[in-house]
Each structure stands twice: as C-alpha cells, then as structure tokens.
Amino acid sequence: MAVMSFNNKSKSIMSAVNYFESDKDHTNTIRKFKPIPVFGDRDRIEKLEKLAKESGIENTHSSLTISFRDNEFSEFKNPDGSYDQEKLIPAMKEIIKDFRETWFPGMKNDENFSDFWNIHTDKGNIELNCAFLKMELTTGKAFNPFPPGELNKDMRDCYVDLLNDKFGFDRVVRNPFSISHTDMELKGIQNPSETAKRFKEVVKPKKNEIQKFLTSQILDNKINSREELIEILQQHGEVKFLDKEEDKTRYNYISFIPEGSEKAIRLDGPMFKKNVDFNELRTEHKNNVAMEKNDSLKQLSNEERTSKIEKLNKHKEIQKGFNEKLKGSGVKKIKKNTGRKYLPKSKQSKTVKNIKNKNSNDSQVKQQPKQPQSAEEQPDYVKINTEKRIKEEKVSLKNDEAQVKQDNKEQVKNKPTDPIIIKNSDNKESKSESSKPSISAFSQVATNSNASLLTVQINQVLFSKLSLELQIGSLSIYKESDIKKIFELKQKIAELEQQIETLKAKQEQAIEAELINQNANRFKNSNSSMKLRV
C-alpha cells in the first residue's frame, strides 16, 4: 500500500532538496543505494524560493514522501536489492503526472509552479520524494494545494486509496484508536539532544501505554463521548485547557500530564477530535478485523471506488477554479524593488544631478504608478514616458558636450598671449593664492581639454547604465526568460561601473596634470615679468 506523509522539519525548500539528494540518511548513515533523480532544477528552484521570500511569502514550500511497501513494484528489483531504473522511473513518472493533475489542476509545471522529485530505495522499498514551491510563478502570489483542515485530509485519503486501487495494492488501514507520533519519537537520530531522547525514551512509550488503555475502554463501551474520555484521563493525571473546551475551532487534541510527569503530552488522533463519534470508531475497528481475515476486503468495492472518485473530482474542480482565478489576478506588487540598483549619492557627479534637474518630466515619472513587472503588461503611457525620458537625456548630454566645447573655444580666445601684461600691484597676493590648487582652479580644469572630454565620456556611460537599469525595471522577476535577461543586464551594468571607475581615475590624472601645467606656466610667467621690470 502507498502512504503519503508530509515532512515539516525542513526550513527551506533547499534543505529538503539537499536531504533528498544526500548520500546519507537522517541518521548520517551512508545510503546503500544512491538517490535517483526524476524531475527538478535545483538552481532554478533556489532562485525562485529567494524571489518568493522577497515577495513576502514566509511559508515558501512543502515537502512530502509517497512510500510503498517492500513487496510493491518488486518486479523492478535487481538481485542485489537495487531497482532497474529503466522500469522504475517511467512508473514513478506516471504517479507524478497523476499527482500534479490532482493537486495542481489548471496549472502547468515550470510555468505556474515548480517542483522537485527523486527516489530513495536504500531502505529496501520505494520512497518517492517531492518538494514544491507554494508560489504561483506568473503572479508571484502564494497558494497552498494542501490547506489545513479535515476536508483536505479526507481528499488525501481518497487520493491514496485510489492510487493503491490503481496498482492493485492493499488499501491503507487506519487504526481508529491510534495516537500520532512525531519524527523524534519514531526515528533514530544520531547524537540526539536531551529533548530528542525524552521523546524517544519517555513520550513514545507513554503514548503507547495510553493508547492501549483507552482502546480497551472504548471497545468495552466505557467511553462514549469526549467528556467521558476526559474524565477517565483525569483519574490518571491532569487534562489542560479545560476552560477552552467550548471553543469548537481550537484544541482538536488533548494536552495531558500523566501522573509522575512534569511535562504535558499532546494526544492527537481520531479519538481526541472535538466531533468524535465513538460508535463510528468501533465500527471501523470491526471492519479492520474483518479485513485481516478476508483479503478481498482490502480492495475498494465498486461503490467505494465511485464515491471516492466523485469526491476527488469535486475537489479538483474547486481547486482548478481557484487556480484559474489566481492566475488571472495580476502580478503581486512588491514593496521593495530588489531587481534594481541605484547609483549612491556619493558617486553621483554634478553633471548627472544637473541632467536630472533639467528634466522637467522627472517629477511626473516619480509620481506615476509603479510599472508592472512584465514588459508585455506595461501600459502605453509608461512606455511613452520612458522613451521620452531617454530621448530628453540624450539631448541633454549632447547639449552638455557642445557647451563644454564652446567653453574651451572661448577660453582659448580669451587666454592672454603676452605674459608681460600682468602688472597689477596686487599681483603678489593673487600669485600666492593661485599657486595653490583651489576649488575654482579644479572646476576650471575640469571644463578644459582632456579632463572635460573624460567628463562627457563618464556621463555617456552613466546614461548607458541608467538605460540598462530601466530595462531591468520593465522585466518580470517571476519569468524564467526575464530572470536570464536580468542576470545578463546586471553583468553589463557591472562592466559599465568598472568602466566608470577607470574613466574617473583617468580624469583625476588629467586634472592633476592640468593643474601642474598651469602652476608651471604661472611660475614661468612671473619670473619673466620680474626680469623685464628689473
């Protein structure tokens, strides 16, 4: 029989994937047979989970295992205990296809959702492992095909029963009087903590003892209601949260402190539910006993099969409608746009700030609504304003370059050709001041010759960088094709940033050289004028 169990220990989808792909099991023992990959791109899943977290989805994933008994699919086994992958993988792909159609109806793999699958065979049986992101990829919004609640649990039971029925396996027989156990109670953990030891050595045996005692009480008709169950437990310890019993939506379990114990034990299972019917539990137990004696009862009857198919189809129809509505709800707005990087204020040149001030449209761009994540979904007014802004900045850069050339020409015309003309009586003070590189001298050099041309080049590269950043802002961070484009554009931006740093270094060298030449010329001119006066 196939059993589907959920894993709640992994903190991220990558921790689940890493465990599924590991050559070691939970006890850190090397697996006899290595995991068999089936579906999933771990690099892509890792990127998508990061995007899910950035979009505000806290519970980003779920992971589960569909386990089969040792004798199931035994026809695929090799003499050494391993499985023939050429036979095993196609069979598992059929199960995966059915799983996706059942729990992700109306959605396409890698377009609307992303999952990971592989197989463990190291325990002698087949364990089909799955991890999937709880995010719809075209919108970036959260969804959960397995929401908590009794209805979904019933759907899971129907799915597992029909899966076993399809392959001719025995149905799952539930013990109606069972008490659920945690992983720490069931699994052997290497180097366990004190808490894990307590669960394994104290809590698990105590639960088994309580289960055995309550089972006999229920079968003897001494317990027929939740109130009677609590009364009997109180005779052997303390039942907590009795003041919450009127709340029908919470405490669908019982917290119990046995005699001689200081800590409470959580009693969770069919007989501890708020709406428990003990007559139904006794009937289920009776049917289980009959099933053990008659193998034909381990298979679904025609009536049971039809009923479960109808239930599951109804669930798929409801889920498909929800998924279709989700897909058409639009891209989720993210408060923080992590896909764009802005130039720090400390690195912004005066020219860039002047360009922004000259753009009368900048204030309008800031006030307009946020651009959609997808380029195809951009309204026309966003595209028009973006194109207009780029054209204006191109014109502004050309004007700046022309202005620099014009300033150079005027400076050449106005430059004194004869150094003897400098005769002012205040020359001593002006000479002493001009011999030091001042801010005014720096600005004068910055608008002259090589340094000014380098300024224009830096502005041009900054404009190219800005254009790439605008392109990134128009792409969707949830589409595979756009993710690749964003990555390529960021690489180009990094190259442009390096180019800017190189140009700035050259600019500083040019300014320094200009200042040295100016000071040298002034010193030469002052000496020549002194000689003439003498």
| φ, ψ of residue 132 in degrees (nearest 5) | -140, 150
pLDDT at 243 > cutoff 70:
yes
* Angle CA 178–181–186, to nearest 5: 120
Mean pLDDT of 318-340: 77
Mean pLDDT of the chain: 78
Amino acid at 512: E
pLDDT band at 121 (very low <50, low <70, confident <90, very high): very high
Contact 417, 423 (CB under 8 A): no
Residue 356's Cβ-side half-sphere holds a number of Cα atoms within 13 Å equal to 11
Residue carrying structure tokens 């989720």? 332
pLDDT confidence of residue 334? 60
pLDDT confidence of residue 332? 76
Q: With b meaning 16 or more CB within 10 Å and e meaning fewer, what string describes 236-257?
A: ebebeeeeeeeeeeeeebbbbe
Nearest to 46 by CA among 19, 17, 8, 7: 17
Domain boundaries, the chain: 1-170+300-336, 172-298, 345-533
Strand order in the sheet with 115-120: 3-7, 61-67, 127-133, 115-120, 36-39
Q: Which residue has the higher pLDDT, 47 or 446?
A: 47
pLDDT at 499 > cutoff 70:
yes
Q: Which residue has the higher pLDDT, 504 or 430?
A: 504
Could you please state the CATH topology (level 3) that the domain comprising 1-170+300-336 is classified under: BirA Bifunctional Protein; domain 2 (3.30.930)
Residue 247's Cβ-side half-sphere holds a number of Cα atoms within 13 Å equal to 9
pLDDT band at 111 (very low <50, low <70, confident <90, very high): very high
Q: Which long-range contacts (CB under 8 A, 24 or more apart) does 409-418 make?
A: 411/448
pLDDT confidence of residue 397? 59
Q: With b meaning 16 or more CB within 10 Å and e meaning fewer, what string describes 18-28?
A: ebbeeeebeee
Tens digit of pLDDT for each residue in 425-470? Answer: 444 443 334 333 433 333 343 344 577 778 878 888 887 888 788 7
Neighbours of 270 (CB within 10 A): 18
Task: Determine the Cα–Cα distance for residues 193 and 175; give it in Å rounded to an integer.
Answer: 30
Q: Is 118 helix (H, G, I), strand (E, B) or coil?
A: strand
Task: Determine the Cα–Cα distance for residues 56 and 444; give it in Å rounded to an integer.
Answer: 51
pLDDT at 11 > cutoff 90:
no
pLDDT confidence of residue 514? 74
